[in-house]
Amino acid sequence: MLLERPLFFLQVFYKGGIWRIKSMKEKTIYLTFDDGPSKDTTLKILEILDKYNVKATFFCLGDNVVKYPELYKKILDGGHAVGNHTHNHLKGFVTPTKDYLDNIQKAAQVIDSKLFRPPYGRIWPSQLRAVKKLGYKVILWDLITCDYDRNRSPESIKKHIHWLSRRGSIVVFHDSMKASKNMLAVLPWAIEFWINKGYTFKVLS
């Protein structure tokens, strides 16, 4: 299971990836959603974000953009940022680098962004360097909610958000049916928690 906050050695292993946006002046959260767009959850996420006037970054699968172009357009029309999450949600650890890069480029045909997040966070350092050579910023995370884990309760996720949020945290939720129960239960609470703690929200760029 992935840790809610990556250990230091992982950040060294994935040197060149962006885990957090550090700033002494701003108290900012970078809210992100992986795996969409999804016919089950994207509109619900957008409604919640609109309610609180919050902008987020959606790391989309090219295949899902092809399936649901109208939802992808709604993300963009809402003023949110997007990123590339490969076309078919590939695991870098078990995919040859050429195939991995080709899949990213396939997604790039429908996703106009130079932000990239590796699915599962599983990418070899050599692949990370190759992705960067294509001009991408490789975005990882400071806090992953593990909302997709059906053994987790919303309350346990809230506790981790409470204790692990900090300035510049890049936070991962998931835009998927698998994660929807936890994600939709936690997201409004999390936004209100961050607002009450004085955080503002920015998209990645």
Domain residue spans of the chain: 8-201
- Give me the catalytic one of 80, 87, 160, 174: 174
Asked if 33 contacts 117 with a C-beta cutoff of 8 angstroms, the reply is no
The answer to whether 34 is a known catalytic residue is yes
Q: How confident is the model at residue 1 (pLDDT cuts 50, 70, 90)?
A: very low
The answer to whether 85 is a known catalytic residue is no
pLDDT at 2 over 60: no
Structure-model confidence comparison of residues 5 and 63, the more confident one: 63
DSSP letters, 158-195, are HHHHHHH--TTEEEEEE-STTTHHHHHHHHHHHHHHHH
**Distance of alpha carbon 115 from alpha carbon 83, whole angstroms:** 5
Rounding to the nearest 10 degrees, give the CA dihedral for residues 166, 5, 142, 111.
-150
pLDDT at 26 over 50: yes
Asked if 38 contacts 175 with a C-beta cutoff of 8 angstroms, the reply is yes
Structure-model confidence comparison of residues 204 and 1, the more confident one: 204
Locate 141 and state its tokens.
């995370």
Please report the pLDDT score of residue 42 as a whole number: 98
Closest CA to 147 of 116, 129, 121, 171: 171
pLDDT at 69 over 50: yes
Please report the pLDDT score of residue 24 as a whole number: 77
Q: What is residue 83's three-state secondary structure?
A: strand
Q: What is the identity of the amino acid at 53?
A: N
What are residue 84's DSSP bridge partners?
Answer: 60, 116
- Give me the catalytic one of 34, 35, 142, 147: 34
CATH number listed for the domain at residues 8-201: 3.20.20.370
Identify the burial level of 123 via C-beta atoms within 10 angstroms of its C-beta, where 0-12 means exposed, 13-18 middle and 19 or more buried.
Answer: buried
User: Mean pLDDT over residues 151-174, rounded?
Assistant: 96
User: Mean pLDDT over residues 107-116, rounded?
Assistant: 98
